Structure 1
Amino acid sequence: LGEDIQFASPDFVREETGFAIGGVSPYGLIKEIPIYIDRDLLDHSLIWAAAGSHHTIFSIQPQTLVSTTGCQVISVH
């Protein structure tokens, strides 16, 4: 994306997403924020994502994640 990145503070993550660090789900966000998925994940039949806490995850087909969240497919290298 051409921008430098840095880790977000726990308070910032909670304020922007409604979730604690380690539990940020691509669903149920409290604000409309961009969601990205690495292009390489599309090669898998199933991936795992956080489900609202650092103790919970869910499986999903990557194409379903893309179609239901509108996330942007990018190359992360």
Structure 2
Amino acid sequence: MQLHGIPGEILHLGVPTPTVEAAAEAVGTDPERIVKSILFLVAGQPVLTITCGPAYVERRTLAALYNVGRKKVKLASPETVSQETGYPVGGMPPFGHRSPLHTLIDYRVLEKPDVYAGGGADRTLIRMSPLTIMQAAQAQVLDLLIPPGLGSDADID
């Protein structure tokens, strides 16, 4: 972040933060302020989604955006996440990956004053503005979430 002039704070924590709940507890905040970066394979191509809180990503939205059937949208395996991003599941940051990824950010993330995201390891988070995340990731803004109460078609972190 410092090398590229991206403003934010890196937090090295004494506990692992692999889930939204664990991360929120570690920094003493609401789970809705925890950003999760979830990698999908859409017709075999990596697509990164950025959402906040314990929300579910709507795979039908990804399928429609890329003009493929819903069954062509799959959650990436931990091995694929590591290969494509250079980071482990549970600590993946929303930007700064091994290779550029097409990135989508849920509009609700941008409604927060600041958020916490994966910092590259399971005991590290970054705190920054959602706008900074959107710009650093060159993310497209969309409604990515399943409406509350309809979690059956979901993939979660």
Q: Give the TM-score normalised by the residue count of structure 2.
A: 0.45
1:26 deviates by 2.1
1:37 deviates by 1.3
1:15 maps to 83
User: By percentage of residues, which structure has more strand?
Assistant: 2
1:67 deviates by 2.0
Which portions of structure 1, spanning 4 or more consecutive aligned residues, are displaced by more than 4 angstroms? none
Could you tell me how far apart the structure 2 residues matched to 1:39 and 1:6 are?
Answer: 22
2:113 maps to 45
Q: Specify the code of the residue in structure 1 equivalent to 2:99.
A: K
Once superposed, what is the RMSD of the aligned Cα atoms? 1.5
Q: Unaligned regions of 5+ residues in structure 1, if any?
A: none
2:139 maps to 71
Q: Specify the code of the residue in structure 2 equivalent to 1:58.
A: I
Q: Specify the code of the residue in structure 2 equivalent to 1:67.
A: Q
Could you tell me how far apart the structure 2 residues matched to 1:69 and 1:54 are?
Answer: 20
Q: Unaligned regions of 5+ residues in structure 2, if any?
A: 1-61, 146-157
Could you tell me how far apart the structure 1 residues matched to 2:75 and 2:122 are?
Answer: 17
Q: Percent of aligned pairs with the same residue? A: 29
**Aligned residue pairs, count:** 77
Q: Give the TM-score normalised by the residue count of structure 1.
A: 0.85
